[in-house]
Amino acid sequence: MCGRFVRNDQDSLFGEYLPRDTLQAWKQKPFAPRYNISPGTVVEAFHHDGKSPNLEFFTWGLLPSWSKDQLGQRYSNARIETIAEKPSFKGPYLRRRCLIQAEGYYEWQTIGKDKIPFYIHKPDGKSLALGGIWDIWAGKDGSEEFTLSLITRNANKSVSNIHDRMPLVIPENLYLDWLDPSLNLREIQRCADSQKDILLKSYEVSRLVNSTQADSPSLINPFENEKQGSLFS
């Protein structure tokens, strides 16, 4: 699964694909680095709004459009192996795919009864474009909520020693293809399979990351027993 990630680079992976006025508007918005993003919070996602690629805010935790109310079940992750079969995911996977920028993500290795957190990232430190799906829930009062799920797949060799799942990563040359709502299932799968062998690095980090309230640059520092740091600075 993918339950936490980091977004601390002010530059957007998707800026060059946005209209100039849209990009300028985003650059004017205050940017706050986030080191422990969890489901239920708002994240930015690059998607196709039916007219053109766009960057917008979504709640992480997909609420299917057909849910009776906002108390319906939400899904933070969707498995690539069954995504085209599940009622909650099939429609969004065919027509509403998105990309979420992350500088890295956390995963927990289980050893006995202990769960050890690791930070996982590209060896060169560059950002990842995580594949996702999105949907719009509309209330009877006219309200709307935009929500998304991150897609996961079987872990490759570079991270399988930590966990058996990893997020889907899409390469830059396929960003626009991935968003294209006209793609058929075979073409979508080609995009999904394109970077399954991506090389990632990992190292153990402090258990302070276990708290969803923790948000500090120190969370991505290599773990040191004698220096736990603090939750918020």
Q: What is the pLDDT of residues 105-120, one digit of tens each?
A: 999 999 999 999 999 9
| Residue 84 Rama label (left phi>0; alpha psi -120 to 50; beta) | alpha
- Please state the separation of Cα 48 from the chain's center in Å: 16
Residue 44 φ/ψ, nearest 5 degrees? -90, 145
Cα(130)–Cα(121) distance, integer angstroms: 12
pLDDT of residue 232: 44
Cα(11)–Cα(49) distance, integer angstroms: 22
Place of tokens 């075979």: 186
Domains, the chain: 4-107+126-196 (3.90.1680.10)
Give 208 or 232, the one with higher predicted confidence. Answer: 208
- Tell me the pLDDT tens digit for each residue of 118-138: 999 999 999 999 999 999 999
Sheet holding 4-7, edge to edge: 34-37, 4-7, 104-111, 114-121, 201-204
CA dihedral sign, ordered 198, 122, 26, 1: positive
Place of tokens 């080609």: 190
Task: With residue 48 as reference, give the H or E element that holds it.
Answer: strand 42-48
Say what the pTM is: 0.94
C-beta of residue 34 within 8 angstroms of C-beta of residue 215: yes
